Structure 1
Amino acid sequence: MISEQFPWLTTIVLFPFLASLPIPFLPGNDNKVVRSYALAAGLAEFALILFTFGRYYSLQDAGLQLVETYQWVPQIGLNWTVAADGLSMPLVILSGLVTTLAILASWNISTKPRLYYFLLLLMYSAQVGVFLCQDILMFFLMWEVELVPVYLLISIWGGKKRRYAATKFILYTAIGSIFILVSALAMAFYGDTVSFNFTDLALKEYSLPFQLFAYAGLIVAFGVKLPIFPFHTWLPDAHSEAPAAVSMILAGVLLKMAGYGILRMNIEMLPDAHVFVAPFLAILGVVNIVYASLNAFGQDNLKRRMAYSSIAHMGFVLIGFAAFTTVGISGAVLQMISHGLIAAVMFFLSGVTYERTHTLDMTELGGMARKMPAAFAFFTAAAMASLALPGMSGFVSEIAVFLGMATSDAYTLTFKVSIIVLAAIGVVLSPIYLLTMLRRIFYGDTGEVIEKTPLMLDIRPRESFIAACLLVPVIGIGLYPKLATQTYDAKTVAVLDRVQDTMVLIADQPDQPMFSAIASPERTASLVAPTIIE
């Protein structure tokens, strides 16, 4: 008999780590036993995630569910507190799917396979822990644990410039993490009580200057990881040198940790500061979209072009967060889920291409459609999803962000039109650089590398299975968005309720220069109307 008192979420967080410990002691000298064991552990973890949420989680409850609290380090007030809600649950499922498929995508790893799969499973635990923990110090620790495996996976199994890329990654992200720690400690010790618990921190009555201080620290830390211009420069280097499976996790899951952090901490815990900063987030989102889209044109390296595409897509997340409407914030969350799936399949297929050609330079490719028709079909489907073709999840998420900003009563018409028009430039540019990428790889004359590889194999059944597992939910969500949005609808409405009172106060002070984009008090009444994506 299954007990609801069983620590399901703690098991979900710790299982991959515990499963990684026997890897050094597994029998055999080749990688067959190790890879099979790692895949079994990944599948078991994913099955456990689906079982737990499917059996015990209620979609209609906006509060925390499956709460577990245990004393961990009582001397400093650190507790092991985990719980799930509409913000964490879909991202945990995304993490489980992408990471398990990344293990399967690593089937041909031959260099130090035991260390490789150990690091993948350790990272699996850390990223799930980030999404489920409800203690800000525990959040910081999980965030830090996740950095080490990524650094080692890039520096050992990456390309020619792997050490440079890995060092740049760890420097940027580790320095950013310091800002999380400073803000976390400041929030925990603010006032008469000391607490690291998310719920307690959200209930504290911080002064506005303090909120702005904490918000600034957190947005820098999360801005590095999202990434937000100008903290983005580590990402193209990391993607271009990382193994395909690591790029799948990096783009599909790790960037979403930053978006989750902004929503969980900056918006939910510091709503007053968010009202001040939101217009600037919208502007930064537009900069991300336009700047990264233009940079994508100049990239001959396949994965660098995809990396800049990821930066551009994260700009829509920032605009959705800044919209102050449920449809906008719902679109931002859906964009994180959608991009996690699309980016994972795009980087996986780039790895398939590299495995056949041993190059990512698009100037050396061309005419691959004749050699790899099935891979061409999958690559085309993934590119169509990335450029937001109707019927794909990317279209739903981006149109929701646009609608959220267009219907927002928090901004003047001039500001909204400016943001929408500039962001639309990215919508125009993305098909151009993505279709150009397809043309250079698969169409035209046969490239130099392709001519030297006359017996090039098409995509294998294992690889087709991985691509299909990522593309099927992209199409499913595109045709019926409620598959994803119903998991967080109640929570997004609750989050926006947190800023309603602040918005009313701000609307009463329209003469303040920093509120030049904020609308009049009369238009603030419908700010948090529960508009939901169906």
Structure 2
Amino acid sequence: MDSGLATDAMAGSAFPWLSLIVLLPAFGALLMPLMPGDDDHPSPWPRNFALIVLFVDLLLMLLVFSTRFDPSLSGLQLVERVSWLPSIGLEWSLGADGLSAPLVVLSGLVTFLSVAASWSVQRKCKLYFALLLVQASAQGLVFLSQDFLLFFLAWELELVPVYLLIAIWGGQNRQYAATKFILYTALASLLILISGLALALSGDQFTLNLTELASRSPGGSFGLLCYLGFLVGFGVKLPMFPLHTWLPDAHGEANAPVSMLLAGVLLKMGGYALLRFNVQMLPDAHLTLAPALVILGIVNIVYGALNAFAQDNVKRRIACSSVSHMGFVLLGIGAVDALGISGAMLQMVSHGLIAAAMFFFTGVFYERTKTLSIPNMGGLAKALPITFAFFLASSLASLALPGMSGFISEITVFLGITSQEGFTSLFRAITVLLAAIGLVLTPIYLLSMCRRVFFGPRIPALASVEDMRPRELVIGMSLLVPTLVIGIWPRIAMDLYEASTDNLATDLGQRALVALIEHLPIG
């Protein structure tokens, strides 16, 4: 078995590629005040500068992960370690493996496209685009950090730009939504900090290095308590029922580009952290609580789908669908086998693209109609035929139409659950049945939304609105084409992370076997 983190940690890089990826957007944010323009004299320079910086950063990600990253290895690569604050053990420690590499590229793409979608922002432009650049750096640091305190600082840092982006550029109830977001996520962060420090202090020597923490794998009551602390802390960001209620409010008030970031990147941080901390560092506790994770995933899937029916706001309905779809991530992680964990990773990538696309197209027709109320819209298919086609395509991808990435990811999770022999046949059957209910509900609430928004009685005031512009077409294609490519050729995504997820599953399987042997009667 590949020993993963423990043996590949020295596979370093002579050039600090990962530091460059992380710090380039932050450096661009520092230069943003030098750009011309202000509120009285708006200028395209802040937006164009942010686009250039993030485009270069995205190209850098693609170059590094296509030429210097070996996806056949399960351990860390491109490792960079510099002592930062030795007095508290803080290191600037970065590294990439199959769990982080695809999500770094996803975050780079979605953040770049969210800036490209921010054409209508004319107020406080320098601050707006500087916050998006800071957010890009914080996201990359979350996925690449290999020091717990550095990870936690990045986790906290990314909350600030999102709070300000909602509070300043959001809708009518933006202050309420932004405050609710920061309260939920900040309180959850306390549990993450406490659990992480408890792990750091648990061994003979204090350490914040994630590789060394993973080698300890504490069990018993201590491991379970740390696992539960991480589960609640990361579950808020996922979001996991009943810790999800901040999400519909945040999406309902945020502008479309910020919603693209929320759905496309921030929710994936929760799933990534569960794999990195709960599964990789606390495997024994994960084996114990995996059935509970499966149950929570089922609740997410069914509750999110049912809740979507009650929403008359387009963005709130899509937000509730995100709660449902992220339930498949919990389901896959709880399956504790290679197929399930692989499906969870693919679902994060797939949902990141699809949800970002849906929120972008929602923003397109909101700019034309100035409303997100489903009862106040109708007949838009004739006025906005191209927008309708793109929104329908993203909805079909979301409901897991065969040939789209959502189908591959969700069917992989299902196969992972059904092939898990550690669960009883009854448990597997009930799990699949209840998850299938969510799959049946999804096309109903999505297609009914499409019917009410784009068909039905035509509103005369919306008869002459302009359809999608070339810039918007490019953004939409940049999100939908990858969902088609992954749906037709899933290996292009799975090859990036499969060595790491297989290694995780192998370790869990070996631990489960050892536990079974220890409990067998002797003689």
Quote the RMSD (CA, aligned, Å). 1.4
2:211 match: 199
Which of these residues, 472, 478, 484, is aligned with residue 469 of structure 1?
A: 478
1:492 match: 501
The amino acid across from 1:480 in the alignment is: W
The amino acid across from 2:87 in the alignment is: Q
1:509 CA drift (Å): 7.3
Which of these residues, 12, 16, 21, is aligned with residue 7 of structure 1?
A: 16
The amino acid across from 1:186 in the alignment is: A
Q: What is the CA deviation profile of residues 240-280 of structure 1, one whole-angstrom value per residue up to 9, with x for unaligned ones?
A: 00010000000000000000000001000000000111000
Which of these residues, 411, 416, 428, is aligned with residue 428 of structure 2?
A: 416
Which of these residues, 450, 455, 459, is aligned with residue 443 of structure 1?
A: 455
Partner SS for 1:154: helix
Partner SS for 2:92: strand
Partner SS for 1:488: helix
2:89 match: 77
1:212 CA drift (Å): 0.3
Partner SS for 2:99: coil
2:489 match: 480
Q: Does 1:52 align with 2:64?
A: yes
Matches of 1:356 and 1:492, distance apart in 2: 44
Partner SS for 2:93: strand
Which of these residues, 237, 255, 268, is aligned with residue 256 of structure 1?
A: 268
2:230 match: 218
2:375 match: 363
| 1:207–1:388 CA distance, 2 compared to 1 (3 A) | closer
Partner SS for 1:359: coil
2:123 match: 111
1:507 CA drift (Å): 3.0
Q: What is the CA deviation profile of residues 509-530 of structure 1, one whole-angstrom value per residue up to 9, with x for unaligned ones?
A: 779xxxxxxxx9xxxxxxxxxx
Q: Does 1:340 align with 2:349?
A: no
Partner SS for 1:68: strand
Which of these residues, 149, 154, 159, is aligned with residue 166 of structure 2?
A: 154
Partner SS for 1:195: coil
Matches of 1:132 and 1:460, distance apart in 2: 36
1:4 CA drift (Å): 5.5
Partner SS for 2:158: helix
Q: Does 1:391 align with 2:403?
A: yes
2:361 match: 349
Q: How does 1:219-368 map to 2 (within 5 A)?
A: 219-368=231-380
For structure 2, list consecutive stretches of 5 or more residues without a partner in the other structure.
1-11
Matches of 1:99 and 1:205, distance apart in 2: 35
| 1:422–1:509 CA distance, 2 compared to 1 (3 A) | farther
Q: What is the CA deviation profile of residues 188-210 of structure 1, one whole-angstrom value per residue up to 9, with x for unaligned ones?
A: 01121111011100111524111
Q: Contact conserved, 2:380 with 2:462, CA < 8 A, in 1?
A: no
For structure 1, list consecutive stretches of 5 or more residues without a partner in the other structure.
512-519, 521-534
Identify the range of structure 1 (53-62 vs 277-286) with the bigger mean alpha-carbon deviation.
Answer: 53-62
Q: Contact conserved, 2:36 with 2:45, CA < 8 A, in 1?
A: yes
Matches of 2:134 and 2:388, distance apart in 1: 34
* Identity value in percent: 54
Matches of 1:353 and 1:398, distance apart in 2: 29
1:515 match: none
2:43 match: 31
Which of these residues, 4, 9, 16, is aligned with residue 25 of structure 2?
A: 16
1:508 CA drift (Å): 4.6
The amino acid across from 2:388 in the alignment is: F
Q: What is the CA deviation profile of residues 317-361 of structure 1, one whole-angstrom value per residue up to 9, with x for unaligned ones?
A: 111111122111101100000000000000001111110011100
Matches of 2:220 and 2:284, distance apart in 1: 7
The amino acid across from 1:385 in the alignment is: A
Partner SS for 1:276: helix
| 1:282–1:242 CA distance, 2 compared to 1 (3 A) | same
TM-score, normalising length: structure 1: 0.93
The amino acid across from 2:224 in the alignment is: L
Matches of 2:343 and 2:13, distance apart in 1: 33
Matches of 2:518 and 2:376, distance apart in 1: 59
Which of these residues, 453, 457, 468, is aligned with residue 466 of structure 2?
A: 457
Q: What is the CA deviation profile of residues 43-95 of structure 1, one whole-angstrom value per residue up to 9, with x for unaligned ones?
A: 01101111111120011111100000001111100000000000000000000
| 1:187–1:358 CA distance, 2 compared to 1 (3 A) | same
Q: What is the CA deviation profile of residues 12-66 of structure 1, one whole-angstrom value per residue up to 9, with x for unaligned ones?
A: 1111000111111212342311111111111011011111111200111111000
1:502 CA drift (Å): 2.5
